[in-house]
Structure 1
Amino acid sequence: MNEIPRFLRPFVAEHPDLPSPVAVAPNLDLYLPDAVSGPHPVVLLVHGGPIPDDFAPTPRAWPVYIGYAALLRAAGVAAAVVDHRYHVVDGPDGPTVDAVTAAADVAAAVEALRAHPDVAGDRVVLWAFSGAGLLCADWLRDRPAWLRAIFLSYPLLASPAPHLPAEDRLHLDPRFAPIDAVAGAGADAPPIVLTRAGRERPLLAGFVAAFVAAAAAAPLEIIDVPDGQHSFDVLDDTGESRAALHAAVARAVAVLEDGH
């Protein structure tokens, strides 16, 4: 009865404390490194969902995103966390995952960050977790020049609706189809770094396998966590988990600093 909710469980890796964030927008926190002067390349951490619209605390305060932001900042790049409106709403065909609004919120956060004087607007990594993996379809299709890489941690990469009983289905705008998007992206796609949990839920694992197969021509890198669960970075307090998340952070920093 006293079990800590998953979203409030501690990050499995030790990290330095974060300073107070720069409030770029009401839903967007920016953490700037203090070792060197800017402008700094930035990683935008994009939480999963859907979550209730009155959920508290909001993802910007969850230990998992604070942990990743702290590690990125300590490595010398800026990190940002956005609260986006990835909620379930009433649609014409029934309950709908409002990925359209969530994607618009993320796009607005990117533009706000790129306009900030302490951010290098041409060096941005988008890092999606869990259900936010669906949003990467837009990024794979558009491939803006400022997008240096797409990071995906235990992502949802297809709508589970067809696999659910009719009464449990949530509708989703068909544009959010990462498997189709990555198949059409080819070698000119931004680098994609996928952190794959070996003990992922079977349905999500199947979508990940389909995404990997569709990405045969794309620049895809995989960081495997063989014994990791979905949300291994808060659920599995192991050396394997820490090694995987540190590898992903290091790769994000390398992409931003080296440009490839």
Structure 2
Amino acid sequence: MTAFILVPGLFTGAHVWEATAARLTAAGADVHAVTLTGLGAPHRGAQSRIDLEAHIADVLAVIDAAGAAAEREIVLVGHDYGIHPVLGAADRRADRIARIVHLDAGMPQDGVPALVAVPDQALRAQVTERAEEEGPDGELAPPVRDDWRRWGSTAGVPDAALDRLTALAAPQPLGTLLQPLRLTGAVAAVPTTGVLCTGNGVSIDMLQKLIGFGDPALQALTDPRVTFFELPTGHWPMLSCPAELAEVLLRAAAGEGHRLEPVGTEQPPAHLRPFLLDVPELPRERQGHVDLYLPEGEDPRPAVVFVHGGPVPAGTRPTPRDWPTLVGYARYAASLGVVGVTLDHRLHDVADYERAAADVATAVNTVRADPRVDADRVALWFFSGGGLLAADWLAAPPPWLRCVAATYPVLAPLPNWGLAGSRFHPVEALTHAGALPLVLTRVGRETPEIAATVERFLAAAEGLAADVEVVDVPNGRHSFETLDPTDESREAVHSAMRSVLARLTA
């Protein structure tokens, strides 16, 4: 018999698991839903402080009780914050645990407090401020009904379930968020499964792309003992799709799931495959973090600045300005008589948009100051997650900015990015774009979460009668320039470039 120990996240207790637990029990499993100390359960220790160690002790007590029968295989499931006490307990009972399931949860590391995993930057600041005022014995009030989405997407959660979640929510002891997790390393030997809720902004495909970037911190995810599932829902699948979640947990316990491919096992990762067009190998001039691809001739020429997406891990090599797609676009632009520009910016994490925006602004100033560039004719072209960086330029377009282009862009922050209160909202910034021409390349096989941000942007543009041209690639995927080298894809690149240059040189 499999014994599932279900550990909830912030502000919640065992009640969130009721529907999922019932289905697991019906399938023959032994189920233990945990309510952590201070979140509905009385303190079981002698100390007065409720911190992460207190919650680890809660999980250890359930492990010891559930594992009394030798034939039981224990599967620990940690949702959201719950993965922290799960890992802490599993590290001390590694020989008793058959599998750990990260349910829309991160990868906590030794010495790092759970506060780091809070998605919203403003919420992290709020916790820090409360801790300074009250100390680690203080509490963080639970969200009101409309604020749950700041802690994760509520997509799919019925209204009645959201009402109940709010009514039963308890204050979160600050010490549980501030105390660092301590691991000996024993937990690394336990097989794991990640259940990704795509409505909250993460998918298996995204993880595979990050693996392809060569980030050493993620290479452990390619271990054959690590599997993944996706659920097309928001951050609370136990409330939005309990039957589907129960099925996934049973399959995870059986060792099923998708396995990520290590770097270099077959062909190069998507971002390092050849560009779909055969473009002239024009010379490159490197100026700091900016590369210029110069057309023939001496007169000042208009420029197109290509802004890569992300986040891209800091140690990625080659850096984005040397990726075939960016180089291909820049050379193609230069072959048509304008200066093509690539750059590296420091969008290494979703918390880095401020400094990435500053890097882009600095690069644009560098380009406009070059005597070979017509400083009054510049276009900016954003890709993927770099699309959020377009917000600054839409909100206050300078007169020399003749066009903004975006290719398979993210045009609103994804739910788990924690940018709700930031300025990086192109949909909202569009209100101030005026007559600025926009060229948007849309792929038909986009992930639903990113596609939704594009449709929101286009709906806003229609309402504002904005000057937007859409170039469609019906059969294209995100990064179609290297993944889908078809005639349809080539024509889309030609069409987008023609449209941008027409506006740039008008």
Q: TM-score, normalised by structure 1?
A: 0.89
Give the Cα separation in 2 of the matches to 1:160 and 1:257. 35
Say whether the 8 Å CA contact 1:197–1:226 is kept in structure 2: yes
CA gap of 1:97–1:3, structure 2 versus 1, over 3 A, is: farther
- Structure 1 unaligned blocks of 5 or more: 89-95, 162-168
Deviations 1:184-219 (A, max 9, x none): 136x24100000001111111111111000011211
Q: Say if 1:140 and 1:189, in contact at 8 Å, map to a contact too.
A: no
- Which residue is equivalent to 1:166? none
Does residue 1:232 correspond to 2:494, yes or no?
A: no
Instruction: Say which of 107, 127, 141 aligns to 2:361.
Output: 107
1:253 matched to which residue of 2? 501
Match of 2:278 in 1: 14
Residue deviations 1:114-168, cap 9 Å, x none?
111111111000000000000111110111011000000000011112xxxxxxx
Structure number with the higher helix fraction is 2
Of residues 229, 239, 242 in structure 1, which corresponds to 2:490?
A: 242
1:212 aligns to what?
Answer: 458
Of 402, 421, 424, which aligns to 1:148? Answer: 402
What residue number does 1:164 align with? none
Shift of residue 97, structure 1, vs aligned partner = 2.7
CA-CA distance at 1:51 after TM superposition: 0.6
Counterpart code for 2:476: G
TM-score, structure 2 normalization: 0.46
Aligned to 1:177: 425
Question: Following TM superposition, by how much is the alpha carbon of 1:8 offset from its aligned partner in structure 2, in angstroms?
Answer: 0.2
2:285 equivalent to 1:37: no
For the residue of structure 1 that corresponds to 2:364, the secondary structure is helix
- Structure 2 unmatched ranges of 5 or more: 1-264
Distance 2:289 2:316 in 1: 14
1:203 to 429, 433, 449: 449
| Secondary structure of 2:286 counterpart | strand
- Quote the Cα distance in structure 1 between the aligned partners of 2:418 and 2:315: 21
How far the C-alpha of 1:18 sits from its partner, in A, is 2.4
* SS in structure 1 at match of 2:291: strand
Corresponding residue number in structure 1 for 2:351: 97
Count of matched residue positions in the alignment of Structure 1 and Structure 2? 239
**Take 1:134 and 1:97, find their aligned partners in 2: how far apart are those partners?**
12
- State the 1:228 CA deviation: 0.7
> Residue 22 of structure 1 aligns to which amino acid in structure 2?
E
Instruction: Find the residue that maps to 1:69 and give its secondary structure.
Output: helix
Partner of 1:72 in structure 2? 333
> What's the CA shift for 1:180?
0.9
1:138 aligns with 2:392: yes
Aligned-partner Cα distance in 2 for 1:2–1:236: 17
Question: How many angstroms apart in 1 are the aligned matches of 2:299 and 2:286?
Answer: 17
Please identify which structure carries the higher strand content. 1
2:470 is paired with a residue whose SS is strand
**Rounded Cα–Cα distance in structure 2 between residues aligned with 1:250 and 1:37:** 22
Higher relative contact order (CA 8 A, sep 6+): 1
- Cα RMSD (Å) of the superposition? 1.2
